[in-house]
Every structure is written in structure tokens, then in C-alpha cells.
Structure 1
Amino acid sequence: MRREPGLSVRLKLTLSYAGFLMVAGALLLAVVWVFLLRYVPDGAIMALGRFVPNRSDLLRAFAPAAVGVLGFLLLFGLLGGWVLAGRMLAPLARITEATRMAADGSLSHRIRLPGPEDEFRRLADVFDAMLARLEAHVAEQQRFAANASHELRTPLAITQTLLDVARNDPRREADELIERLHIVNARAIDLAEALLLLSRADRRSFTRESVDLSLVVEEATETLLPLADKRGVTIETSGEVGRTVGSHALLLQMTTNLVHNAIVHNLSERGAVWVTTALHPRFVTLTVDNTGAVLSPRLLSTITEPFQRGTQRIRDDHAGVGLGLAIVKSIAHAHDGTLTIAARPAGGLRVTVHLPAAHA
């Protein structure tokens, strides 16, 4: 937006200081003038053989002095106001410079304004916190873009390789090629749908309604029971009715992702998953525990980022696309909730989602 050039804030403050000082000086001189007039007669008189000045004489003597005083106050107000305004606005200059650097793409710069707690200090601290969040968000988005590009390129490269092999080897069976292309294409579609779902949750573009988490858990676990039976994992559900406000489809997707991850990233034999819902005065919780490998704290700090997996990279028909917990985190935040992940001492994870209760 183009704006007409105007006076600087420092000049405005200077003029304000000088104007206030001039008004205060003029009022003071007016008071002195009124006070003197009370004791000066209108005409010239003689008292005890001496001449007593009248009001005309007082005006001729007082006016030049008053003009000189006002001129001095004007000069003093301009100079003093300019210096004081500069000192007062010095922190604002640092904040402006930091803002300009951030606009140019430098998010690592911090103001770190020294001095006591005041309006400028609070503004600088809030701006530093905002820059820190922006820097972390941009870094996360850059990693997401790089990982998404890699994940999208992989099925395309595999498809290209299969087609090249089929073209160079006409004797290769078409059914095998079609089956492999179908698997690769299905994975690419799953990845694209997961990216769209993640974007939808981030935009919060959904209709809110009352949702019972316990019913959502039942629906998700029933859908995933065949996968659990195939992998030899038992699922136990428990808890109480807990209603929240949000999108039933997104909350079902969130629960399905949590249970799916708990089944896939589990022990190879005799694995277990526990899904619990609980109602509290102001929020409801969904907790998913599973057995599995012992995870390091470093891995836990990045496990909710897109395309991060809890254990080694799994390549089978239920591997997922690496967006499961990222989608869970995004859906929880879109519903004004929080996601907490902790490693179980015996191995595996405990994932807890806190959502506002419907009555709250």
C-alpha cells in the first residue's frame, strides 16, 4: 500500500513537547501579568515624592521580557523534545530494524531488548517469541516440503522403472506388472489423500457437531480388527462416554490413525493395544497404549512431524505414508486440543489426546 509521506513520530513528539512547554509558559506569564495588574494603578501617580509606574509602563517593560521567555521556551522545547523523543524511540528503532530483517527472510535475528519491563520491552519480547515460532514453523514446513517431494517421487520412480523393464523385456508377464503398478499407484493415492486431509485439518474447514469419542473408538477398532488379527495383536477398549464438539469424520480419522499406528508398530508376536476414553470436568481424553520397541527421547521429539516413523521404515501393504501422527496432531489442534506422546518403560508408546468437553 502506497502512502503519502508524513512527519516522523520523533518530529511529532518534539513538536508536542515544544507546544506543551509554550502553552505552559504562556499560562504562567498570564498568571504573573494578572497578579501584577492587581497592584498597578491605571494612571501615573506620585507617592511620597516618587513616580509610581502605571499599567502602560508595566506593559512596555513586561512584553519584551515575555516574548524573550517564550522564545527561549520554544527553542528549549524543540531541542529538549528532539533529544528526549530520540531516547524514548530508540527501542522502537531496534524493533523496526528486526521487523525489516524478518520481512527480508532473516528469522534467526532477535531483538533481545535490555532494560526494565515496560511497553517497548513487552513488545520486543512478544516479537522475539513470534520470530522463534515462525522460524520453527518455516523449518518444519521446509522439512515437510522436502520429505513430501521425496515421498511423491518414490512411487513415480518405481513406476518409471517398472515400465522401462516391461518395455525392454517383452516376455515379462503383464499380470505381474499390472499388480505392481497397482500397488505403487495405490500408495501414491494414499499419500495424496493424506496430504489433502492434513491441509483440510490445518484450515479448520469443517462443520462442528457433538461427537461421542467412545463411539468413535468402537467404530475405529471394529474397522481395524482384521488387521490386528492378521498381525496377532489384541485390542482392548474401555472408558466412559465423553462428548466433544468437532467433525465426526476427522475425529474418526484421528482415532483410526492412532489405533493403526499402535497395531503396525508393535511386537511381532503377542502384541497388545489398549484404547481408553475418559471424561473430566472440562475436557475428554483419548489414550492409546501399545507394546513395541523401546524408543529414544530424540525420536519422540520428532515423531509427530510428517514422514517420521517410530521404528525402521516399513514396506508392506499396511505401512502407511508417514503422515499418521502428523494428521493426528493437526486434527487435535484444529479441535482446540493437545497431543501428548510418551514412551512406555517396557516399550511402545502412550499417546493421549485432550479435547474440550462438549458442555465446557
Structure 2
Amino acid sequence: MTAPTGRPVDRAPGPSVRLRLTLSYTGFLLLAGVLLLAAVWVFLLRYVPERALIVPGSTGGTATPGVFPVRSELLRVFAPRAAVVMAVLLLLGLVGGWFLAGRMLAPVARITDATRLAATGSLSHRIRLPGRRDEFRELADAFDTMLARLDAHVAEQRRFAANASHELRTPLATTKALLEVARTDPDRDTEELLARLQVVNTRAIDLTEALLLLGRAEQRSFTRERVDLSLAAEEATETLLPLAEKHGVALETGGELTTLTVGSPALLLQLTTNLVHNAIVHNLPTGGRVWIDTAVRGDRALLTVENTGEQLTAAQVATLTEPFRRGTERVHSDHAGVGLGLAIVRSIAQAHDGALALTPRPGGGLRVTVGLPAAEAPTGGGQTRA
């Protein structure tokens, strides 16, 4: 166990679980032996008289006739033998209990070893406990699953850090190069230099803000409120309408008038804006279209953004939510963005206990569906809009 600071808790040493199991097993075995011997003794006392009268010739021997204390004699003979039985049970309980406890705790030892390896940063090790399913094997399988997810998450974070470093270095290197050129060439056009520096600086700011937004979404550090996805879709559409007109893309909104969920209004608006922006930018050169639809299906509030565009394969679509993953057209576009649009959408959806689904359209383009937990609609909701 670790303290909140991450350092191990300093605990006083105590008896091992194996020793405690052994003592428990031995104690139970001794208790069972005592109860068994007590039952035998009570049975004997029930049918053996306290005293017995011996008459001449009844025993077939030469015993002296008279009255003898039978129970006391029986106790004298029974007690040493009972003590021997209890000693054997004690020895058997200690030896057998220690062996059985070791066999039972062997899976725990393997899980502990794997935990120690994981604590040192080795996430590739797996327990893979053999045998049929039981409590220990379910624990080991759950631990293996956790290690696999952690390993994948750490690998993804390392790729993300490397990509982010590369993306941040690019505008800084460009700025440095422009400044060096300006210093060595006093006759260079200052207005052109300032314009290029502004473009590079704007890109660096956009990238930094996107990284901050992505981190905020992953930490879930926001207050949850009721949010209408249909209103978020309308606001995003109105904001990006000039960009759509510039690209010659027609925007269409539809679906239910009220599509309620619970979450951060700012983050869900950013999610919607990113989807609509991507749909506009990655579209046909002319005559492109974007459809934005909201609906409630069961306990899910759905936001769907669909656009025309180039033909995509399922393999290409599967990589679009990775950070800094860009399509072929995105690199050469004037609105290339920073490669975090769909990565931010996925993180925001996951932070709201939702899911993101991407599928290629048969005629070209992309269909993106975000499913979030639905909130209760007010009376009279569920109307549709054109």
C-alpha cells in the first residue's frame, strides 16, 4: 500500500497470512478433535455405571469380588490416549495446515510478484494463472487486463508526448529561422516577416490551447450540468457558417429539438465545434455537404455529424482519433489545425461516459456519432426540427 504521496506506507511487521491460516486450520482441527473426544466420553458415561459389582466367576479370572469404581478407572485409561490423539492432531494440523496454506496462497504470491514488477515500471509482464476459474484466477485475469490497459495507455502517452514535442518544436524552429534570416538580411520585407511570424505564433497558441483542453477533458475537472446537444449543434453551425461558405460547403441541421445530456457545456460545445469544423475542412473541393443530427435513442443522446469527401477505408478511419494523426488533405490545407480535433472529441466523450464511433460513408466522406448518457427531457420534448 502507498501513501497519497506515492511512497510506501511504513507498517509494523506482523504474522504472515500463511501462518495465520495454518494456526486457524490447526485450531479448527483441535476444536473438532476435542468435540469428538467429548462426544465419545459422554457416550461412554451414558452406558458405563459409576461403580460395578464383581461376583466370583463373572470375569472368568481370579479377580477379588467386590464393588469397584468403573468410571474413574475408565478415565485413567482414556485420558492419556486422548492426550496422544490431541498431540497427533496438533502436529497434523500444523504440518498439513502449513502445506495447504502454501498451496492456496501460491497464486497470491504470483500476483504479488507481478505487482512488484509493475511498480518498477515493467508493464509487459503477465500472470497468466493456469487452471479453472475461481476467485484467485479471476483476480489474476483482472490484473492482467489492467496491466494490458496500463501498458497501452503508457505507450500512447509516450507517443503523444513525442508527437507533442515535435509539434511544439516545429513553430519554435520556424520562428527562430525567420528571426535569423531577418537579422542577417536587413533589407528583408518587415511586413512579410511579421505576417509569417503571426501565422507561426497563432499555430503554436492553437496547439497549446488544444493540449490544455485535452488534458482538462482527460482529468474530468469540470462541473456537470444539463446540456442540450441540439442547441450546441446550432451554435457550432452558426459559428462555422462563414468557414463553410468560404469552402463552398452546405450545412444542414436536423433531428430532435431537445437532446439532453449531462456534462460540461463548454466541453460539449467544443466537441460539437470540432466535429463540424473537421467535416467542413475535410470535404469535397466544391459542392460539399455536412449533415448535423441529434436524437435520443433509449438512454443515449446521439450527436451525428456526416460529411461528403474523399473515399476512406476502415483502416484509415480507425486511426483518425489518434493524437496528431492527419489525413492526406489535412497536411496541405490552410486550415490544417493541430491534429488534435478528433482526439479531443474522443477524450471529451469518454470524460462524459460516452463513446465515439467513426464509419466511412459509402459514397465518400465520414460519419461520426457521439453517444452520451441521456438526461430526462422536459414535458413536451422530443419534437423534431427540419
In the superposition, the TM-score normalised over structure 1's length comes to 0.95
CA distance in 1, matches of 2:112, 2:206: 46
- Structure 2: state its 5+ residue gaps: 1-8, 378-386
Question: Does the alignment pair 1:321 with 2:338?
Answer: yes
- 1:54 corresponding residue in structure 2: 70
- 1:23 corresponding residue in structure 2: 31
Task: Give 1:308's match in structure 2, choosing from 325, 332, 338.
Answer: 325
Post-superposition offset of 1:315: 4.7
Question: Does the alignment pair 1:121 with 2:137?
Answer: yes
The sequence identity of aligned pairs, in percent, is: 69
Question: Does the alignment pair 1:131 with 2:147?
Answer: yes
- 2:351 corresponding residue in structure 1: 334
Give the residue type in structure 1 aligned to 2:345.
Answer: V
CA distance in 2, matches of 1:16, 1:340: 54
Q: Map of 1:254-333 to 2, 5 A cutoff?
A: 254-333=271-350
CA distances 1:113-137 after superposition (whole Å, capped 9, x unpaired): 2212211111111111111111111
- 1:164 corresponding residue in structure 2: 180
Secondary structure, aligned partner of 2:328: coil
Q: Map of 1:165-184 to 2, 5 A cutoff?
A: 165-184=181-200
| Conservation of the 8 A alpha-carbon contact between 2:217 and 2:348 | yes
Secondary structure, aligned partner of 1:285: strand
CA distance in 2, matches of 1:269, 1:313: 16
Question: Does the alignment pair 1:38 with 2:46?
Answer: yes
CA distances 1:166-204 after superposition (whole Å, capped 9, x unpaired): 111111121111111111111111111111111111122
- Count of aligned residue pairs for this structure pair: 360
Post-superposition offset of 1:325: 0.4
- 2:116 corresponding residue in structure 1: 100
Shift in alpha-carbon separation, 1:161–1:47, aligned structure 2, 3 A = farther
| Conservation of the 8 A alpha-carbon contact between 2:249 and 2:280 | yes
CA distances 1:36-88 after superposition (whole Å, capped 9, x unpaired): 22344445642454455522222221111011100000111111111111211
- 2:171 corresponding residue in structure 1: 155
Give the residue type in structure 2 aligned to 1:260.
Answer: H
| Conservation of the 8 A alpha-carbon contact between 1:277 and 1:287 | yes
CA distance in 2, matches of 1:307, 1:48: 111
In the superposition, the TM-score normalised over structure 2's length comes to 0.89
| Conservation of the 8 A alpha-carbon contact between 1:295 and 1:310 | no
Q: Map of 1:189-200 to 2, 5 A cutoff?
A: 189-200=205-216
- 2:83 corresponding residue in structure 1: 67
The two structures, once aligned, show a CA RMSD in angstroms of 1.6
CA distance in 1, matches of 2:195, 2:159: 32
CA distance in 1, matches of 2:372, 2:177: 46
CA distance in 2, matches of 1:109, 1:351: 36
| Conservation of the 8 A alpha-carbon contact between 2:50 and 2:69 | no
- Structure 1: state its 5+ residue gaps: none
